[in-house]
Amino acid sequence: MRVWPGHPYPLGATWDGSGVNFALFSQHADTVEVCLFDSPEATKETERIALPQKTFNVWHASFPDLKPGQLYGYRVHGPYEPQHGHRFNPHKLLLDPYARVIGRSMKWDDSLFGYKVGDEKQDFSFDDRDSAAFAPLAMVHDNAFTWGDDKHLDTPWERTIVYELHVKGFTRLMPGVPEKERGTYAGLASAPAIEYLTKLGITAVELLPVHFHADERFLVDQGRVNYWGYNTLGFFAPDPRYSSEPHLEDVVNEFKSMVRTLHSAGIEIILDVVYNHTCEGSHLGPTLSLRGIDNRSYYNLSPEDPRYYMDFTGCGNTPDLRQPRMLQLVMDSLRYWVQEMHVDGFRFDLAATLARSVRDVDQLGVFFNAIHQDPVLSQVKLIAEPWDVGPGGYMVGQFPVIWTEWNGRYRDCVRKFWKGDGGTVNELATRLSGSSDLYQDDGRRPSASINFVTCHDGFTLHDLVSYNEKHNEANGEGNRDGANDNNSWNCGAEGPTDDKAINEIRERQKRNFLATLLVSQGVPMILAGDEIGHSGMGNNNLYSQDNELSWLNWDGVNVGQASNLSSSPTRSASEGAPGTATPSVGEGNPDPSGGNKQKLLDFTRRLIEIVKEQPVLNRRHFFRGQPIRGGFLKDIYWLEPSGQEMSDEAWNAGFVRCIGMGLLGKFGQVDSQGRPEEGDSLIILLNAHHEPIDFTLPHGPRMPAKLDRLFDTSDGNIEIVPHKPKVPYKLQGRSMVLFRFKTVEKGSNSK
């Protein structure tokens, strides 16, 4: 085997057409060896070669005789001194943190731990068993791919509608998708899936983690998996479990083909990424990659006792982004997914952790500074989950300019309002109009608010209106996991019921939530399946449910022309949790919405059409609450049921549960070529009270003689119905209505 000096950059295993260059950073190592494997079944390496060169703490060498497809791992020699933060153990085969392709997944075994599991000295003991037979392997990859004219879509934030989905769960049961492709990257790019997404009208898919991840040992021991994937091991490699390709070297190209196909359909790809912790866990976790490569250089260790890790996520460790090489790893990973894989943006899980110094959240931390100055990453979509579980970790509204945020305060307020809680209309008005209290003072726009009512973490929309309490028994943790405070209301019965009145209220409430979400200023995010009434049967923490609780059930839904509603995809016996009672396809939970899936889907599609048709629902700037250019109507105004503007007394009255919002259709916004973006003016009425209310609409000589009602959530009617403004509108209990009109003339007085 010929070994040349090679180069310290780029990091990872790089095929240059004439050989493979290996480069691995480890500041405190004594020796680094690359181990070559002949097959995924091999229990030990066939070659072990020390990297002879060390440049700026990067160990490197070039191998002119190696080619793409080569399987490899590392062994790193150095001190094993947990009390000083060092955990080197050359008996442990380590995954390259820059691996582009996973050549073999891991299999749990005690030999994967750097210490003797069960020893009374815990991690102060030393394990000398070889982990090569059980450790994951990396594969050398050739990045060549024909992208054609593919490019980033750069959909403006104010025109973006996000759809959060799981790659497997979205198409695992989707009719019309070839059996081989269901639940895969290819399935998401299949004709039925693309047709469904385009007809729905969303502009971006936000994929739950697709980075290669490990399933926690306790889950595997119970016959379960980490379905969501928030347990990353490989920050550059797409997870092969979502591939339809039998050959692992083809996984990357399948992912790229998916991106290219989605782009051609006008859909952006946003990745949910997890850089706040790794799957190596606490000081008692396995040694799989970074821990064994150079623990002190990659992880945030306790200043008082570097045996332990700082943990702001509850997952055992925190990567130390103050360390230049750890920061480089994250930045290189992000740029790789943008430049090489063509994704359009990222949602950062528990993003407050990324801004931590030793303990505190630092808004001017090195990670934010690095992102802001980066000519690539500063131009893509950046979404923060703006909290973690550490002290001072709730950071909603406090992220820097260019960042958007999951607006947890929007979710909580909207849920409380439609649940019927008093004292919410004041905050509701702020949330509907873009949450200026959170995002205006630092130069951001309404689009900084990613509005959502539900997401993967918590109740689905159907369950939000069907359960008062969580029902997570299937997770095997005694119903202790998952949030207890859900601001949910079951409408009169816990879970499925045959009561027609209760089911009608539930359907109405689902329409209320979706309509509120989509007419609010900011960027709406819809949880996949909410538009067809998917239920997790009351489980608000489906992280380990790789079964029909999580997979979308398309029975009763016209997915598209390629669909075959009479055929139900089969379920592999290896999927889901053995021994766990879950509904079978077409049996336990075919349609918890009582046959209303298609109606809810049609209603959602129409809502999205309205949002795209009306520029006032896509404002780039916050409202001013003033008339525009001498007009008589303010750009936004708030109405009592009497038709008068909301008084201070009404704003502060805890019993008020009904409100109207008027939006001016001509507000001075222009498109990219300077042309006015003008549309209809809108009036939106919301009634969270259980009784109907006669709502007097604005009328007079300067108002139109007719309004068009675009929808009424009380019955889900999406036909355009004319209405005379002089006639009070009977706003049904727990309902929402949208009217459009054009102003007749300009005047000089506010109204």
User: Quick one: pLDDT at residue 543?
Assistant: 98
Q: pLDDT tens digit string along 475-490?
A: 999 999 999 999 999 9
**Backbone phi, then psi, for 440, in 5-degree steps?**
-85, -35
User: Quick one: pLDDT at residue 359?
Assistant: 64
Three-state secondary-structure class, residue 328: helix
What does the alpha-carbon distance between residue 276 and residue 273 come to, in Å, rounded to a whole number?
Answer: 9
Residue 747 has pLDDT above 60, yes or no: no
User: Quick one: pLDDT at residue 654?
Assistant: 78
Residue 111 has pLDDT above 60, yes or no: yes
Beta-carbon contacts of residue 327 (< 8 Å; ≥ 6 apart): 321, 366, 367, 370
Query: What angle is formed at CA 396 by the lines to CA 456 and CA 668, rounded to 5 degrees?
Result: 100
User: Quick one: pLDDT at residue 568?
Assistant: 45
CA dihedral 161, 167, 170, 175 (to 10 degrees): 130
Contact 551, 582 (CB under 8 A): no
Burial 469-489, CB ≥16 within 10 A → b, else e: ebbbebbbeebeebeeebbbb
The 8-class DSSP code of residue 728 comes to P
Quick one: CATH architecture of 160-275+316-608?
Alpha-Beta Barrel (3.20)
Residue 109 has pLDDT above 60, yes or no: yes
Alpha carbon of 65 to those of 25, 36, 72, 559, 627: distances in Å?
23, 12, 14, 50, 73
Query: What angle is formed at CA 19 by the lines to CA 16 and CA 22, rounded to 5 degrees?
Result: 85
Intrachain domains 160-275+316-608 and 621-741 with the same fold:
no
Alpha carbon of 716 to those of 124, 464, 602, 638: distances in Å?
64, 19, 9, 24
Q: Is residue 385 annotated as a catalytic residue, yes or no?
A: yes
Angle between helices 425-432 and 408-419 (to 10 degrees): 130
Q: What percent of the chain has pLDDT over 70?
A: 92
Instruction: Provide mean pLDDT across the span 116-122.
Output: 98
Contact 25, 58 (CB under 8 A): yes
User: Quick one: pLDDT at residue 594?
Assistant: 61
User: Quick one: pLDDT at residue 589?
Assistant: 47
Domain boundaries along the sequence of the chain:
160-275+316-608, 621-741
Residue 627 region, left (φ>0) first, then alpha (ψ -120 to 50), else beta?
A: beta
Q: pLDDT tens digit string along 52-95?
A: 999 999 999 999 999 999 999 999 999 999 999 999 999 999 99
Q: pLDDT tens digit string along 254-311?
A: 999 999 999 999 999 999 999 999 999 999 999 999 999 999 999 999 999 999 999 9
More reliable by pLDDT, 392 or 118? 118
Q: What is the pTM of this model?
A: 0.94
Are β-strands 707-712 and 735-741 bridged in parallel, bridged antiparallel, or unpaired? Answer: antiparallel
More reliable by pLDDT, 673 or 203? 203
Instruction: Provide mean pLDDT across the span 312-327.
Output: 96
Residue 325 has pLDDT above 70, yes or no: yes
Q: Is residue 677 annotated as a catalytic residue, yes or no?
A: no
Beta-carbon contacts of residue 561 (< 8 Å; ≥ 6 apart): 195
Give me the catalytic one of 45, 158, 311, 349: 349
Q: Which of 11-20, 564-573, 683-692 has the lowest average pLDDT? A: 564-573
- Which tokens is 376 given? 């690539």
Q: Chain-wide mean pLDDT for the chain?
A: 93
What does the alpha-carbon distance between residue 582 and residue 571 come to, in Å, rounded to a whole number?
Answer: 12
User: Quick one: pLDDT at residue 630?
Assistant: 58
Q: pLDDT tens digit string along 546-589?
A: 999 999 999 999 987 433 333 345 444 445 443 344 433 333 34
Quick one: CATH architecture of 621-741?
Sandwich (2.60)
Contact 388, 352 (CB under 8 A): yes
User: Quick one: pLDDT at residue 495?
Assistant: 98
What does the alpha-carbon distance between residue 414 and residue 419 come to, in Å, rounded to a whole number?
Answer: 8
Quick count: other Cβ atoms within 10 Å of Cβ 16? 11
How many CA atoms lie less than 13 Å away from 681 in the CB half-sphere? 24
Give me the catalytic one of 239, 320, 385, 530: 385
User: Quick one: pLDDT at residue 337?
Assistant: 98
Q: Which of 56, 59, 35, 38 is nearest to 47 (CA)?
A: 35
